[in-house]
Amino acid sequence: MSSHVCDVLVVGGGIVGLTAAWRAQEAGASVVVLDPSPGDGATHAAAGMLGAVMEAGFGEEGQARLGTASLALWPAFAAALERAADLPPGAVGLETAGTLALAYDRDDLVALRRLLALHSGWGLGSAEISPQDARRREPGVGPRVAGAAWVPGDHRVDPRAVQVALSRVVAARGTLVPHAAVSLTRSDGAVVGALDEAGTAYAAGTVVLAAGHASGSLFAGAPTRPVPGTTLRLDAGADRSPSVVVRGTVQGRPVYAVPRPVRPDGRREVIVGATSDEREDDHLTRAGDVFGLLRDVRALLPELDDAVLLEAVTRSRPGSPDNAPILGWAADGLFLATGHHRNGILLTPLTAAAVDQALGAPPDSADAVAAVEATTRFADPRRFTDAYSTTRGGTA
C-alpha cells in the first residue's frame, strides 16, 4: 500500500473543498485534495444566486445571519481569488445589481408580503414595488404579474467560473488526486488521515471533510442527505433576457432566472431553476421538471420563449437535518465543511473565513470577524454530536 503525508487533506473538490484547500495553502500548509470528479457535484448545477435576503424563510433566521455575513465578504473574496488565479477582475462573474422578486397571482402576492414583513423584522432590506415599477427595471416582466419587490442586497456570481478559478489556484500549489476517499483513519480518537479507493493512505495533521451530500457516508457526525435539484441553461439575446436576478412564485411554485454577463456576441446565458426533491442522489433530469420550470419562468418572463435550451443539469445539494451548514471542528484533526444545502455558493466566503480561523489565521476585517461569529453560533457541527468537548479552533 502506498502512502502520502501532507499538512491538510481535503476530501471533496467542489466549491467548498477547493475553497478550504486554497485557504490552507495561503496558511502555508501542504495540501492534497481527493475527488474522483471535482466540480461535478452541486456546484455544477448551482445558479449562483447570492440570496441572503430572499433565501431566508420562516424559521431560518440563523441562515439569514450566515448569509448576510457571507455576502459582505463576497467582493473581497472574488477579488482575492481572481488575483490568486491570475484572472482579470470580473472573471468569476460577481455582479452586485440586486434582485427583483415577483408574485404571479394574488395568493403569491400575499405570501410575498408575509416574507417581506419577516425580513423587515430581521432588518433585511427589501421593499414592495408595483408591477409597473418592476417592468421599468426589467421590461421583460410579463403582463399578468400581480406584485413585486426590489431586493437591493441580493446578488449573483458564476459558480462554474469560481470553480475554475479555485482549481487553477489549488492545482498550482497542491495535489489534486482523482480518487474518492473510502474511509477516514483514526488514532486514539483523533482523525489522522484517509484511505482512497486506489488503496493509497494519506496521513494529515488536519482532514477537511467537504464531500457534499456524501460527507455523512464518511463521518456519522456529518449527517448530510442529498437534496436533488435541476437547473436549465438557456442562451438568450441580451435584449430578451433579464439583466438582474428575477425570482418569484407562480401559484405557489418558486422559480428564478439568473443572468450571466453579456457576451461579445450580444447574447447571455440565463440559468432557470430550480426543483428540490427529497430522494436519493442521481444525475437524471425528469421531463416533468424541465416542463415545470419552463412553464413557470415564461409566466414571469415571457420573452425567454425565444431562448435556446442548452443544458439541463441535476445534482444534489448537501442538506443537513436543520438545513444549516455544518462548519467547524468535529473531532481532533477533523474539520467539517459541509451541509451548505441550497446556499453553498453564497456561503463560500464565510467558509473561507471559518477555515482561516481554524488554521490559525485570525479574521482580517470586521466582516470576517462577523462571519466567524455567525459560524460559531449557527453552524457548529457539535449540535449533531455530544461526544466532543475539547476546545479547539475557538469553537468551544
Ligand X SMILES: Cc1cc2nc3c(=O)[nH]c(=O)nc-3n(C[C@H](O)[C@H](O)[C@H](O)COP(=O)(O)OP(=O)(O)OC[C@H]3O[C@@H](n4cnc5c(N)ncnc54)[C@H](O)[C@@H]3O)c2cc1C
Residue 107 dihedral angles phi and psi, to the nearest 5°: -65, -40
Name the minimum Å distance from CB 37 to ligand X: 5
Looking at 343, 357, 375, 395, which residue binds ligand X (CB under 6 A)?
A: 343
Q: Considering the rule CB under 6 A, would residue 38 count as an interface residue with ligand X? A: yes
Considering only residues 151 through 190, tell me which ones interact with ligand X, judged by CB under 6 A: 180-181
- What are the Cα distances from residue 29, in Å, to 6, 26, 356, 382, 393? 8, 7, 12, 26, 16
383, β-bridge pairs: none
Looking at 6, 8, 16, 148, which residue binds ligand X (CB under 6 A)?
A: 16
User: Which one, 219 or 329, has the nearer CB to ligand X?
Assistant: 219
Residue given cell 449557527 in the structure block = 378
Q: Considering the rule CB under 6 A, would residue 223 count as an interface residue with ligand X? A: no
Residues 6+ apart with CB under 8 A from 57: 115, 118
Q: Which stretch binds ligand X (CB under 6 A): 29-37, 98-106, 134-142, 168-176?
A: 29-37
Q: Considering the rule CB under 6 A, would residue 342 count as an interface residue with ligand X? A: yes
Q: Considering the rule CB under 6 A, would residue 40 count as an interface residue with ligand X? A: yes
Q: Considering the rule CB under 6 A, would residue 211 count as an interface residue with ligand X? A: yes
Residue 268's nearest CA partner among 95, 87, 31 is: 95
Residue 35's nearest CA partner among 217, 179, 197 is: 179
Considering only residues 309 through 328, tell me which ones interact with ligand X, judged by CB under 6 A: 315, 317-318
Burial 24-45 (b: 16+ CB within 10 A, else e): bbbbebbbbbbbeebbbbbbbb
Q: Considering the rule CB under 6 A, would residue 193 count as an interface residue with ligand X? A: no
Q: Which stretch binds ligand X (CB under 6 A): 126-134, 232-240, 303-311, 336-344?
A: 336-344
Instruction: Supply the angle between the helices 15-26 and 159-173 in degrees, to the nearest 10.
Output: 40
Q: Which stretch binds ligand X (CB under 6 A): 15-23, 260-268, 299-307, 356-364?
A: 15-23
User: Which one, 271 or 359, has the nearer CB to ligand X?
Assistant: 271
User: Which one, 145 or 184, has the nearer CB to ligand X?
Assistant: 184
Q: Considering the rule CB under 6 A, would residue 354 count as an interface residue with ligand X? A: no
Q: Which amino acid is at 204?
A: A
Looking at 344, 349, 381, 393, which residue binds ligand X (CB under 6 A)?
A: 344
Tell me the three state secondary structure of residue 226.
Answer: strand
User: Which one, 45 or 151, has the nearer CB to ligand X?
Assistant: 45
CA distance 267 to 240: 9
Residues 6+ apart with CB under 8 A from 358: 206, 328, 329, 335, 393, 394, 395
Looking at 274, 293, 304, 336, which residue binds ligand X (CB under 6 A)?
A: 274
User: Which one, 16 or 109, has the nearer CB to ligand X?
Assistant: 16
Helical (H) or strand (E) element with 173: helix 159-173
Considering only residues 107 through 126, tell me which ones interact with ligand X, judged by CB under 6 A: none
Q: Which stretch binds ligand X (CB under 6 A): 6-14, 89-97, 199-207, 377-385?
A: 6-14
Name the minimum Å distance from CB 381 to ligand X: 14
Residue 108's nearest CA partner among 244, 218, 253 is: 253
Tell me the three state secondary structure of residue 55.
Answer: coil
Q: How many CB atoms lie within 10 A of CB 134?
A: 24
Residue 41's nearest CA partner among 138, 180, 142 is: 180
User: Which one, 131 or 212, has the nearer CB to ligand X?
Assistant: 212
User: Which one, 119 or 342, has the nearer CB to ligand X?
Assistant: 342
Binding region for ligand X (CB under 6 A): 11-17, 34-43, 45-49, 180-181, 210-212, 214, 218, 229-231, 273-274, 315, 317-318, 338, 340-346
